[in-house]
């Protein structure tokens, strides 16, 4: 008989919040640094951590023990697990930080995410994806949870350039009906950003067995699924605090949508004009 845990082990943010007031000033400095550089912990050693925070190595080790970790390696392993799960992580100390550099750090992180996203795309791969989007009989965009708004926004852009663009899953509907009939002339654009539902892996397997082509867009945690798709585009979600940033993903969606429009400029312009006339005829949008 399967048993269930009644409570999850507290993550590092909860542990720091619970003990922050009791930490020494030096320990608080190390704790704040860990949380503010959560995504960069892999490049630090315990010695580095002591040096950049201006404390002794024994202070760092003492903090780890107080938080319930045997070593800095255990802290880094814990951090990787949390980031892979997409778990928001913030503490009172981090939220209260007012160093005047927040905007600069946010901008730097967003620029780095965008640089990594676009820098990893080979021009010939991008052109092949645009050609597939242009020539496909049907485009099916699939997204769950945090991926759903991206898929929905992408569809809204694409239907202004071409027809036969659908979104799945529809609210309170299943996926199976949407997958039936997909053929070699169809393209599925699958968004796979972290904290995916359990059925995601099964969906990838199902799509791999179908004759349609598949473009997978996601953060690094979806890379293990890439080998079963035709194309894979990675968008980092790193942010300076708890919640993931989807700015690079939205930028990529914009780039792809505009690329498709330019791929079929004459048809796209005619369709946009027709849509605009319908907007006016139905009086749907405010002027």
Given a cut of 50, whether residue 169 has pLDDT beyond it is: yes
Given a cut of 90, whether residue 141 has pLDDT beyond it is: yes
Radius of gyration of the chain (CA): 23
Give the per-residue pLDDT at 15.
Answer: 80
**Alpha-carbon gap, residue 59 to 153, rounded angstroms:** 48
**Alpha-carbon gap, residue 287 to 278, rounded angstroms:** 14
**Alpha-carbon gap, residue 139 to 193, rounded angstroms:** 19
Given a cut of 50, whether residue 1 has pLDDT beyond it is: no
Kindly give the interhelix angle for 57-66 and 72-85, rounded to the nearest 10 degrees.
50
124 φ/ψ angles, rounded to the nearest 5 degrees: -70, -30
**Tens digits of residue pLDDT in 4-53:** 333 456 677 678 777 877 888 888 888 878 776 666 666 778 888 888 88
**Tens digits of residue pLDDT in 65-92:** 888 888 778 877 777 676 665 555 554 4
**Tens digits of residue pLDDT in 241-276:** 667 889 999 999 999 999 998 877 667 666 666 667
**Alpha-carbon gap, residue 117 to 233, rounded angstroms:** 8
DSSP run (H or E) holding 46: helix 46-53
Indicate whether this model's pTM tops 0.75: no
Where does residue 179 rank: exposed (0-12), middle (13-18), buried (19+ CB within 10 A)? middle
**Tens digits of residue pLDDT in 180-228:** 889 999 999 999 998 788 889 999 999 999 999 999 999 888 888 999 9
**Alpha-carbon gap, residue 66 to 244, rounded angstroms:** 28
**Alpha-carbon gap, residue 34 to 125, rounded angstroms:** 38
Give the per-residue pLDDT at 260.
Answer: 93
Given a cut of 90, whether residue 3 has pLDDT beyond it is: no
pLDDT confidence band for 2 (50 / 70 / 90): very low
Beta strands 231-234; 187-191: pairing state:
unpaired
**Alpha-carbon gap, residue 196 to 205, rounded angstroms:** 15
Q: What ranges make up the beta strands (E) of 181-255? A: 187-191, 213-218, 231-234
**Among 95-104, 129-138, 140-149, the least confident range:** 95-104
pLDDT confidence band for 125 (50 / 70 / 90): very high
The residue among 128 and 22 whose pLDDT is bigger is 128
Give the per-residue pLDDT at 161.
Answer: 85
Give the per-residue pLDDT at 182.
Answer: 92
Give the per-residue pLDDT at 87.
Answer: 54
């Amino acid at each position: 008989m399967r048993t269930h845990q009644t409570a999850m082990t507290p993550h590092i943010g909860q542990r720091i919040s619970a003990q922050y007031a009791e930490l020494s000033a030096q320990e608080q400095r190390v704790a704040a640094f860990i949380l503010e550089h959560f995504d960069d912990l892999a490049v630090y050693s315990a010695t580095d951590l002591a040096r950049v925070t201006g404390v002794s190595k024994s202070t760092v080790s003492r903090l780890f023990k107080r938080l319930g970790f045997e070593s800095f390696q255990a802290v880094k392993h814990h951090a990787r697990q949390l980031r892979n799960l997409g778990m928001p992580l913030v503490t009172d100390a981090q939220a209260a930080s007012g160093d005047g550099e927040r905007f600069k750090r946010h901008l730097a992180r967003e620029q780095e995410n965008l640089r990594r996203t676009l820098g990893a795309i080979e021009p010939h791969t991008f052109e092949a994806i645009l050609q597939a989007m242009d020539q496909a009989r049907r485009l099916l965009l699939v997204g769950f949870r945090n991926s759903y708004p991206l898929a929905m926004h992408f569809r809204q852009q694409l239907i202004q350039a071409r027809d036969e663009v659908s979104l799945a899953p529809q609210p309170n509907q299943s996926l199976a009906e949407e997958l039936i009939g997909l053929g070699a002339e169809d393209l599925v654009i699958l968004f796979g950003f972290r904290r995916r539902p359990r059925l995601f892996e099964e969906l990838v397997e199902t799509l791999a067995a179908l004759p349609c082509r598949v473009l997978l867009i996601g953060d690094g945690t979806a890379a293990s699924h890439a080998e079963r798709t035709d194309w894979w585009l990675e968008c980092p979600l790193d942010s300076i605090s708890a919640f993931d940033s989807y700015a690079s993903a939205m930028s990529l969606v914009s780039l792809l949508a505009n690329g498709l429009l330019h791929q079929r400029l004459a048809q796209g312009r005619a369709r946009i004009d027709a849509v605009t006339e319908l907007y006016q005829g139905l009086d749907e949008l405010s002027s």
